[in-house]
Amino acid sequence: MKSYSPEQLDLVRKSGEILSKTLALLESKVAVGISTLELNDIAEAFILKNDAVPSFKNYNGYTFAICTSVNEESIHGMPRKEKLLKEGDIVSVDVGVRYKGFCTDAARTFAVGKISADAQKLVDITRQCFFEAIRGLKANSKVGDIGARIEDYVRANSDFSIIDNYFGHGVGERVHEEPLIPNYRPAKTAKKVIKDVGRVRLPLHSVIAIEPMINAGGKEVKVCPDKWTVVTVDGKLAAHYENTLIIKEDGVEVVTETNA
């Protein structure tokens, strides 16, 4: 796992600043009747205007700048001209930015107009999972501590489920770097690779993206025929919250969340 130099970390910070502003712009544009493709175009234009590029575009064949996942769409939703947001929807927007060779990654779930109390609880719990995950996190912390804190918070505060086959990750010079970061206690799984990653310690000045992905119903998800969009099997709502952060000696620096 990489540690980055002070000069490289400054580029990560600038990338994160652009991404944070992109998300704030998108939040202001989310409204009844807007299409998810229009949100994509707004984001791409803003990122390019800021001398950066959308790091998701052309990544493994993905053709859009952002992911837009509505309601039961958990992650990787493809923007579509015909997908118009409706009153009461929730939309998860996942954005990647590359600035002078350095990537950041973040996601938010936004309400469209007035949403149900249950939907709001899902959005709020998912967001708070991130902040629980970084509590006490610092250089030499174990990756497994992140998922353990998320799992404990979800179990104590809801009957929601944690998606267990998609993960947070390292980030920096590439969109996805080592290690995988599970959103649950890795020691509980039968998969050796996940157990092993739980014991990995985070180096000083490493960069990671923590991204709780929480379902209102069961944890099971499936990939749609478009080969990208991931939806809940039971059709219930899903939410996503993600930030990129720098691991420091005495804590973390969140570079994609201005209010963190």
Domains present along the chain, CATH in parentheses: 6-254 (3.90.230.10)
- What digits encode the pLDDT tens for the residues 99-154? 999 999 999 999 999 999 999 999 999 999 999 999 999 999 999 999 999 999 99
pLDDT for position 191: 79
Vertex 87 angle, CA 57 and 118, to 5°: 95
Q: Does pLDDT of 166 surpass 50?
A: yes
Contact 198, 144 (CB under 8 A): yes
pLDDT for position 258: 65
DSSP codes, 79-107: P-TT-B--TT-EEEEEEEEEETTEEEEEE
Tokens for 6, please give them: 């002070």
Q: What is the rounded average pLDDT of the residues 62-88?
A: 98
Q: Does pLDDT of 260 surpass 50?
A: no
CA distance 125 to 128: 5
**Residues whose CB is less than 8 angstroms from the CB of residue 15 and which lie 6 or more positions away in sequence, other chains included:** 52, 97, 98, 99, 100, 102, 103, 104, 255
Question: Mean pLDDT in the chain?
Answer: 96
Element (H, E) at 30: none
